[in-house]
Amino acid sequence: MNITIINGPNLNLLGIREPGIYGNEGFESFLTRLRNKYSDITIEYFQSNHEGDIIDKLHEAGFGKTDGIVLNAGAYTHTSLAIADAIAAINTPVIEVHISNVHSREEIRHRSMISGVCRGVIAGFGLDSYRLAIEAFVK
């Protein structure tokens, strides 16, 4: 099985950005633990602060290159019809994830432009949200 994790803007700052919301662990160390836990799964990782790069990666991964996409689009979740259109256009299922509980934060974060075209949504479990998404694909 192959899983692609795509992280959007500012998620390259995990571990140093607002640790009260996002925790103290950087994504690279978490990714190492995740790959060790799921050693029988190939987990590809991509992060970009640029909307078009995220769309390009969705297109690249979304036509049979991977079995599932775990997407944390960051703030683009709430603003990007273009990312929603890209998800709708591809064949590979996408699970939307968020580290924080977006519904307990600012009102603008309560609405997702991408949820309706994703297989499901996992939010509020810290970095463990990614593991839960992988578990959903495994089952």
For this structure, is 98 an active site residue? yes
Residue 74: both structure tokens together: 């960051």
CB atoms within 10 A of CB 39: 8
Q: Is 92 helix (H, G, I), strand (E, B) or coil?
A: coil
Instruction: Pick the catalytic residue from 76, 98, 103, 110.
Output: 98
For this structure, is 103 an active site residue? no
Instruction: Pick the catalytic residue from 22, 45, 110, 130.
Output: 22
Residue 130 near residue 103 (C-beta atoms within 8 A): no
Catalytic residues: 22, 98
